Structure formats: structure tokens, C-alpha cells
Structure 1
Amino acid sequence: MSKTFTKADVAKHTDESEGLYIIVDTGVYDITGFLDEHPGGAKILKRMAGKDATKQFWKYHGKNVLDKYGDKLKVGTLAETAKL
């Protein structure tokens, strides 16, 4: 079963001891174990931790990247919020 996160929940995950989480579209991903593998370096991942990285992700990556790594890194989904 997939866990549901709010943006506030994700915002708490900004260091390696708590896990580095990012949001891409409606998925929540733990990128802590991916820091050393990221071709762009760990610095950019750490900078995006706790945030919605959707815009930045799609600017530099294609769907194939999410297809390749998404299942391994995904820890849940973003809770739906009312848009007023």
C-alpha cells in the first residue's frame, strides 16, 4: 500500500537523517540513496529536497528516467488538496 503525503509532510524531509524527499507530479520520491548515482550531482538533489521538483525534473529529464528509477524511489503519492 502506498503512503499519502501532504506538501507539509514532504517539506520535513530535507536532510539525509530524515530522508530527502521530492515531489514529481503526484509522486513522492525518496532520493536519499540516489545522491551518488545522480549524473547532475548530489548538490542539486539536496537543494530540491522537501520541495515540488516537477518543473525542474521535466525540464532536464524525459519520461524514460522516471520509468527507470521511479518505482525504486517512490515512497507514496501527494494528497489531493482543494484548489480554491
Structure 2
Amino acid sequence: MSESFTLKQVAEHKEVDQGLYIVIDSDVYKLDTFVDEHPGGAKILKRMGGKDASKQFWKYHNESVLKKYAPKLKIGSVKEEAKL
């Protein structure tokens, strides 16, 4: 079962030792165990930690990449936050 996260909760996981979460199209991915495997290097993942990386992801990847890695790395989705 996947969890729901706020963007603030995702932002709290911006470092590898904090779990290194990123958001792609409202889905949350935990990349701390994938950083060293990333073909493009760890640097870009670390730079995007705790943020919405959708724009950067789609610039360099296609849908097949998500299909391949989502089962292993996706941990939930971003929930709508109440607006005051």
C-alpha cells in the first residue's frame, strides 16, 4: 500500500541519509538505495532531492524508465494540501 505525502514531507527527505525522496508527476520515489546505480550519476539525484523533479526527469527519460523502476522505488503520492 502506498502512502500519501505532502510536499513539505517530501522536502524533509532531501539527503541520502534522510531517504532522498523526489516527486515525478505527483508520485513519490525513494532513491537512497538507487543513487549509486543511476546511469546519469548520483549528483543530479542529490541535487533534486526533496523536490518535484518532473520537468528534469522527462527531459532525459521516457515512460519505459518509470515502468522499469517504479515497482522498486515508488513509495506513494503527493496529496492535495488544504489551501487557507
* TM-score, normalisation: structure 2: 0.93
1:38-74: per-residue Cα shift (whole Å, max 9, x none)?
Answer: 1110000000000000000001000000000011001
Counterpart for residue 65 of structure 2: 65
The CA RMSD measured in Å over matched residues stands at: 1.5
The structure with the greater share of residues assigned to strand is 1
Q: What stretches of structure 1 of length at least 5 have no aligned partner? A: none
Counterpart for residue 46 of structure 2: 46
* TM-score, normalisation: structure 1: 0.93
SS of alignment partner, residue 39 of structure 2: coil
Identity of aligned residues (%): 60
Q: What stretches of structure 2 of length at least 5 have no aligned partner? A: none
Q: How many residues matched?
A: 84
Cα deviation for residue 82 of structure 1 reads 6.0
Are 2:25 and 1:16 aligned?
Answer: no
Are 2:36 and 1:36 aligned?
Answer: yes
